[in-house]
Amino acid sequence: MNIVITPLVASLLAFLYLGLSMRVIRARNTERISIGDKGNDLLLRRMRVHSNFAEYTPLALVLLLTLELLGGAHWLLYGLGLFLVVGRAVHAYGVSCVPEPMSFRISGMLLTFTVIGVAALANLVLAVNAAFVT
């Protein structure tokens, strides 16, 4: 079995993560703040966008990988991967803007939560099926 979908999704998300990281670094350099945020709203916002990505993305990727390892349907994996990439990008854009367009933030989180929930349920079904059928 070749695992190809999760690495593709993870690679796309890694590029987004690098971009978000660079935005934090640029803000730190511009504002001359090496530790913390010192109350700087721009830096705080960029840090939270970066942190939120780092908080939700790993669990979603683990669930995608285990689903792929359990033999989940390719259409489901590609769909969940697309939702995750779009959801994380839309959320990052929404939270980065001032004023914050809540529709982007909400849409991004709904897509991310959908991926986590559907992938968790699919993993559970496949794992239980494998445990009791074999």
Query: Average pLDDT in the 115-122 region?
Result: 98
Query: Average pLDDT in the 22-30 region?
Result: 95
pLDDT (0 to 100) of residue 1:
74
Measured distance CA(115)–CA(84) in Å, rounded: 6
Long-range Cβ contact pairs of 57-62 (< 8 A, separation 24 or more): 57/13, 57/17, 57/84, 57/88, 59/116, 60/84, 60/112, 60/115, 60/116, 60/119, 61/6, 61/9, 61/10, 61/13
pLDDT (0 to 100) of residue 134:
62
Compute φ and ψ for 57, nearest 5 degrees.
Answer: -65, -45
Pair 91, 115: CB distance under 8 Å: no
Secondary structure letter of residue 1 according to DSSP: -
Name the least confident of 7-16, 25-34, 65-74, 80-89: 25-34
- Cα–Cα–Cα angle for 11, 20, 43, rounded to 5 degrees: 165
Measured distance CA(53)–CA(74) in Å, rounded: 25
Measured distance CA(24)–CA(106) in Å, rounded: 22
Query: Average pLDDT in the 66-88 region?
Result: 98
Write down the pTM of the prediction.
0.93
CATH number assigned to the domain covering 5-133 = 1.20.120.550
